[in-house]
Amino acid sequence: MIILKEANYKVPDGKLIKVKLSVSSEKIDQVRILGDFFLHPEETILTIEESLIGSVKDEISITETIKETLNESDAILIGATASDFSKVIMMAWESK
Amino acid sequence: MEEFRFIDLETHDAYMNMAIDEAVMRAIKEGKAPPTLRFYRWKPSAVSIGTFQGMYDEVAIDYCKSQGIDYIRRITGGGAVYHDYEGEITYSILMPMKHPLAKTDIIESYKLICGGIIASLNILGINDAEFKPINDVIASGKKVSGNAMTRRHGCVLQHGTILLDLDVHEMFTILKVPQEKISDKMISDVKERVTSIRDILNRKVSVDELLESLTQGFTDALKIKLLPSKLSDEEFQMATKLAKEKYSSDAWNFSR
């Protein structure tokens, strides 16, 4: 994977999120959400990353996609929220 | 009073330490092992990273290789930890999800189990230790213990480190500390974030003294009875297999 874009964000009173993003034709080609947050069950992160492939640059719809995956997986995210993930994806997208 | 199998202080390499945790979880899942508390050290010294972290993002791999320091990915979330053989004790507590000490709420669960560490610090004469959500124990406002939990195989596993001594320079040579994390806390000096028992008490507390206080601290805080024992042969074989096939593999450690 060629890393094109990256951003870091420390959630106030929460954990650090790092996003690595590659974009092709204005859509997410691949995304990695890294950090020291907690997510139970842990495998959910892969489902989230996969669900975001093909997403366009829209913070609200990306948040919704993440929320949907969390719900479907009956997952608990601690130290960050779906909106935080989405926010950092946007930050990465807008980075040079 | 709930009974726990107690595996007293052992020393293993990073791969075996993490493999034992998983082997015990699997055994508990199959009803073949009781709730368990174990204490252990890491030899060679090692850095463990949280399951969602990137190995190259967090760890100075070339430096570790040159110094013979192991590096490993945990199955738990949370941050990177340097496990200095001389400078800390690690614990793991494992129990079925339905155990009375396994709280449904995850922060409550951390708080309960971290009570064992706070009680231990009290025994050593550190009276201002407290739980700091999400997963830290602090004393005098500085982190002295980091903890991480997972819930899988029908089990709750929490493991964590209690810092006895701290070589700040070494720690931040091994770990790549993100600037964002520092600036958020309005602390310009990373050395102000973390402390150790020897720093606080200003005396050379031994590993044995810390071990004794931890054993008593967990017993008191969790109101449990510790039954000294060891891994079953089956657990040991499973751990050996997991250490070899999973925890020492680049496929696992560099998966992110």
- Tokens representing B94? 């494992």
Counting DSSP H helices and E strands in chain A, the numbers are 3, 5
pLDDT of B29 strictly over 70: yes
pLDDT of B78 strictly over 50: yes
pLDDT given at position B177: 65
Residues contacting residue B43 through CB under 8 Å, at least 6 positions apart: B11, B12, B13, B85
pLDDT of B184 strictly over 50: no
Chain B (1-20) residues lying within 8 Å, Cβ to Cβ, of chain A:
none
Domain residue spans in chain A?
A: 5-94
As a CATH number, domain B2-253 is 3.30.930.10
Among the partner-chain residues A12, A34, A45, the one whose CB lies closest to the CB of B57 is A34
Mean of pLDDT values over B23-32 = 97
CB A42 to CB B152 under 8 A?
A: yes
Sheet with B136-139, strands from edge to edge, namely B130-132, B136-139, B142-152, B155-163, B88-96, B36-42, B2-12, B224-228
Residue B105 contacts A where some CB pair is shorter than 8 Å? no
d(CA B97, CA B5): 16
In this structure, the strands spanning A16-24 and A5-10 are antiparallel
Of 1.10.10.10, 1.10.260.40, 3.30.390.50, 3.40.50.620, which CATH number belongs to A5-94? 3.30.390.50
Mean of pLDDT values over B86-91 = 97
Residue A71, Cβ density class (10 Å: 0-12 exposed, 13-18 middle, ≥19 buried): exposed
Among the partner-chain residues B150, B152, B178, the one whose CB lies closest to the CB of A8 is B178
Among the partner-chain residues A12, A36, A78, the one whose CB lies closest to the CB of B79 is A36
pLDDT tens for residues A51-90? 999 999 999 999 999 999 999 999 999 999 999 999 999 9
- Phi/psi class of residue B100: alpha, beta or left (left: φ > 0; alpha: ψ in -120 to 50)? alpha
Q: Kindly list the residues from chain B whose CB atom is less than 8 angstroms away from the CB atom of residue A79.
A: 134
Name residue, tokens 């107690």. Answer: B6
**Bigger pLDDT: B193 vs B30:** B30
Average pLDDT along chain B: 94
3-state secondary structure of B26: helix
What separation, in Å, do the N-terminal and C-terminal C-alpha atoms of chain B show?
Answer: 42
3-state secondary structure of B173: helix
pLDDT tens for residues A11-61? 999 999 999 999 998 999 999 999 999 999 999 999 999 999 999 999 999
In the chain, the amino acid numbered A16 is: L
- E strands, A1-96, are 5-10, 16-24, 27-35, 38-40, 76-78
Among the partner-chain residues B51, B107, B184, the one whose CB lies closest to the CB of A10 is B184
pLDDT given at position B176: 84
pLDDT given at position B96: 97
Report chain A's C-alpha Rg in angstroms.
12
> How close is the nearest chain A Cα to the Cα of B180, in Å?
6
Residue B51 contacts A where some CB pair is shorter than 8 Å? yes
In the chain, the amino acid numbered B84 is: D
Report the residue of chain B nearest A76, measured CA to CA: B106
Mutate to test the interface with B, among A36, A42, A77, A84 (most CBs of B within 10 A): A36
Could you tell me if B24 and B229 are in contact, meaning their C-beta atoms sit under 8 angstroms apart? Answer: no
Q: What percent of chain B has pLDDT over 70?
A: 94
CB A36 to CB B50 under 8 A?
A: yes
3-state secondary structure of B66: helix
d(CA B120, CA B114): 10
